[in-house]
Structures are given as C-alpha cells and as structure tokens.
C-alpha cells in the first residue's frame, strides 16, 4: 500500500466521527474527540492537518482555522514520528500566538470563537509566523507522509505482537503460529516500504 493510501485510510477512520456543528460549538466536542482517538489515528490526523495548513497558508492559517487548539498534542505527535525540526517550529509558533499567562482552555476557546485579537491585528505576530513558515518550507529531511507511514506500520506490528503474546499465554498454539507468521510478513512489508522490493530480493538471494 502506498504512503498516501495508508495515510488516507487512517485519516478517514480518524475523521469519520467528527460532526460539522462541533466547529461552531462553545463545548469542546471536537477537541475531546481528537484527544480520545487511538494513537495511530490521532498522530495521522494531527500531523496531516498541520502539514496541509502550513503548506497552504502558513502557521497563521493553522491557528486562525482553529487547528491551533491541538498544538501541544501535535508537537508530541511530531516528536513521536521523528519530525523534530517541525515540532520545534510549531512550539515556537505556539509561543508567539498564545500568551504565556493564558490557560490552555481559554486559548482553545479563543481560537474557536475567533476572539484572539492578536491573530488579526498584530503585524509583528504575522511577520514572526511568516519567518517560521519559510523555515518550515525549506525542511527537506522530514517528509511527513513518509514518517507517518513508518509510524503506522510500527503501530501495526506492535498490535500484532500484543496479539501474539495473548494467544501464547492462552496456550492456543495454532493461532499463535498464525499470528507469528503474520508478524514476519508485516516485517517484510515494512522493510519493502522503507528500502524497496529490489533491496529485499537481494537480501533473500
């Protein structure tokens, strides 16, 4: 499965429960939904949103479209997939936009209600975010789609390993072996995704 197809499948699974009226509600349904997603879905959703928003309209668009309410979770998600430079940039952007004395709950409300005046009238804020945009655009060694796929495959292997241990402890050898060979196949698929089918064929010769 290609990077894009795997990411799209996970992203669609993550967003299928989101309701449009949540985007205009004072009650944080949207935020609560996202932070309660499974690890793989949450990471894919958060990092994909950031990448799409910043590449389309910069960090300013990311915050004005209310996605900045997930900034702290997205920083952690970027670290988890190995996008350390982009994580650092988002952390800097958040510190520019969120007053250090403003509680997170109030910050999220302000983004949702469009009441953070500095986002719309502060030229210094615009300029500072644009500087971060330029740095973000020039990062060449943190392909979010590639890093997301590596993370998703790793998550799948972890789930298989848990299932393997479960069946081993239950004493069901047949299912244990089926899961074991499933893990071996998944490892080969992961290697093929990372290094290419030709490289794997050379190893097997």
List, for residues 107-129, the tens digit of each pLDDT value: 999 999 999 999 999 999 999 99
Residues 75 and 100 placed together within one structural domain of the fold: yes
- Gap between the Cα atoms of 71 and 63, Å rounded: 9
Residues 22 and 61 placed together within one structural domain of the fold: yes
Residues 200 and 123 placed together within one structural domain of the fold: no
Residues 109 and 176 placed together within one structural domain of the fold: no
Q: With a cut of 50, say whether residue 4 has pLDDT above it.
A: yes
Tell me the pLDDT tens digit for each residue of 141-193.
887 777 676 665 655 555 555 555 665 566 555 555 565 566 555 555 544 54
* Concatenated DSSP letters of 121-166: H-HHHHHHHHHHHHHHHT--S--HHHHHHHHHHHHHHHHHHHHHHH
Q: Give the number of domains in the chain.
A: 2
- Gap between the Cα atoms of 67 and 74, Å rounded: 10
Range of the domain at 91: 3-142
Residues 170 and 137 placed together within one structural domain of the fold: no
Residues 126 and 190 placed together within one structural domain of the fold: no
Residues 165 and 125 placed together within one structural domain of the fold: no
pLDDT confidence of residue 145: 72
Tell me the pLDDT tens digit for each residue of 25-63.
989 999 999 999 999 899 999 999 999 999 999 999 999
Residues 30 and 45 placed together within one structural domain of the fold: yes
Residues 197 and 120 placed together within one structural domain of the fold: no
Residues 127 and 196 placed together within one structural domain of the fold: no
25: left (phi over 0), alpha (psi -120 to 50) or beta: beta
Contact 142, 79 (CB under 8 A): no
Q: With a cut of 50, say whether residue 73 has pLDDT above it.
A: yes
Q: Is residue 65 classed as helix, strand or coil in its secondary structure?
A: coil
Residues 15 and 54 placed together within one structural domain of the fold: yes
Residues 131 and 168 placed together within one structural domain of the fold: no
């Amino acid at each position: 499965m290609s990077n894009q197809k795997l990411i799209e499948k996970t992203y669609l699974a993550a967003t299928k429960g989101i309701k449009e009226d949540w985007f205009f509600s004072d009650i944080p349904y949207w935020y609560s939904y996202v932070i309660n997603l499974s690890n793989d879905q949450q990471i894919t959703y958060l990092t994909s949103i950031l990448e799409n928003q910043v590449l389309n309209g910069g960090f300013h668009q990311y915050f004005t479209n209310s996605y900045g309410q997930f900034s702290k979770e997205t920083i952690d998600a970027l670290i988890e997939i190995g996008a350390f430079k982009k994580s650092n940039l988002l952390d800097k952007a958040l510190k520019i936009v969120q007053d250090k004395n403003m509680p997170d709950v109030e910050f999220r409300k302000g983004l949702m209600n469009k009441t953070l005046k500095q986002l719309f009238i502060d030229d210094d804020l615009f300029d500072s975010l644009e500087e971060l945009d330029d740095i973000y655009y020039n990062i060449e060694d943190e392909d979010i789609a590639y890093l997301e796929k590596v993370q998703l495959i790793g998550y799948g292997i972890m789930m298989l390993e848990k299932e393997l241990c479960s069946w081993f402890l239950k004493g069901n050898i047949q299912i244990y072996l089926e899961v074991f060979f499933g893990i071996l196949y998944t490892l080969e698929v992961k290697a093929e995704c990372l290094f290419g089918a030709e490289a794997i064929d050379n190893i097997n010769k």
